[in-house]
Amino acid sequence: MDIRNGLVEAIGNTPLIKLKRASEATGCTILGKAEFLNPGQSVKDRAALFIIQDAVARGQLRPGGVVVEGTAGNTGIGLALVGNALGYRSVIVIPETQSQEKKDMLRLAGAALVEVPAVAYANPNNYVKVSGRLAEALAASEPNGAVWANQFDNVANRLAHIETTGPEIWAQTDGKVDGFVAAVGTGGTLAGTGIALKERNPAIKIALADPFGAALYSYYTTGELKSEGSSITEGIGQGRITANLEGAPVDFAYRIPDAEAVQIVFDLLEYEGLCLGSSSGINIAGAMQLARELGPGHTIVTVLCDYGTRYQSKLFNPVFLREKGLPVPGWLERSVDVPN
């Protein structure tokens, strides 16, 4: 029998999918960890589960208690669903610029949603800071307690990837993996998976794939946190070294233009049937760069972070794409003439 006992056991153990066109273009085997197949349709289910379990183990969260978080959406969706399964409520603070689909899903999952203007981290009204204050206030008033998930600086996040994502990739490839590439939101995926893989074989190369508008490409190439430009990607693009990123074993860093990332996402849907969000495009572009760096014959793993329907109104909307000066895939506007 192969039975998962509830939502919690349905998180993780996602398949590794060989990406045909990326592999053919580079002469390497490029594999995507299919995190969009998690119950909340993103990689963040793993961090959400570990953060909640950690808060329970510390006695900070009691049955009926509240989990508060600031999130671009995916972590909130994971927290809300895991919360429902384990008996906790969720209060989610999200920047209003994030996709409507993620906000709708959060409401659907029963989260109390607080939308705030998208302002920089240094601003006290930044979504992360608002969520921290809200958690403190609720901790004082909620009879069963309230905790701040604090995904950026709570290392229970990266522990999820040290204990699950990394070991899964190692086992699924029989240890025949030469490189791992990921973009950074909190850094949990990159640092945690990187640490777990290096622990098993220090020769495995770990690479960051950064969008424009983030400061980490600059940090890992020059030592200075500096950003330029902007990106339509959601859930990634970090401007500081979070606690989860600290000590991440990063060998290479690449900066990927949006136009390159979205074209990869469109081609994957059109030619391989894989429907993904834009951060997966950044990751695959990064994996192809690492493949070129290492040369043909290597195996590179990256992350297929979330499912594309989450961005139907933006990434797959011709009006939005044209506004941003990005390519529009022909099939989005294809029509069929029906004979009379």
Residues in the site for ligand PMP, rule: CB under 6 A?
A: 42-44, 72, 74, 183-190, 234-236, 277, 279, 305-306
* Other residues' Cβ atoms within 10 Å of the Cβ of residue 75: 29
Residue with tokens 């899964």: 168
- What does 139-172 look like in DSSP terms, one character per residue? HHH-TT-EEE--TTT-THHHHHIIIIIHHHHHHH
Token couple for 116:
């705030």
Which CB, 179 or 192, lies closer to ligand PMP?
Answer: 192
Which CB, 32 or 277, lies closer to ligand PMP?
Answer: 277
Cβ-proximal residue to ligand PMP, closest one: 235
Residues 6+ apart with CB under 8 A from 89: 64, 65, 66, 67, 83, 110, 112
Which CB, 95 or 277, lies closer to ligand PMP?
Answer: 277
Q: CB 189 → ligand PMP: shortest distance, Å? A: 3
Give how far Cα 106 sits from Cα of 4, 113, 132, 314, Å: 24, 7, 19, 18
Q: CB 27 → ligand PMP: shortest distance, Å? A: 27
Q: CB 178 → ligand PMP: shortest distance, Å? A: 22
Torsion of CA 173, 176, 179, 182, to 10 degrees: 10
Q: CB 122 → ligand PMP: shortest distance, Å? A: 19
With 0-12 / 13-18 / 19 or more C-beta atoms within 10 angstroms meaning exposed / middle / buried, residue 263 is: middle
Question: 258-272 vs 278-294: helix axis angle to the nearest 10?
Answer: 100
Which CB, 65 or 286, lies closer to ligand PMP?
Answer: 286
Which CB, 43 or 169, lies closer to ligand PMP?
Answer: 43
Q: CB 156 → ligand PMP: shortest distance, Å? A: 12
Q: CB 37 → ligand PMP: shortest distance, Å? A: 14
Q: Give yes or no: 129 in active site.
A: no
* Strand pairing report for 252-256 and 29-34: unpaired
Token couple for 123:
């601003």
The residue from 20, 33, 44, 102 that is catalytic is 44
DSSP 307: B
Name the 3-class secondary structure at 329.
coil
Amino acid at 118: A
Which CB, 65 or 156, lies closer to ligand PMP?
Answer: 156
Catalytic annotation, residues: 44
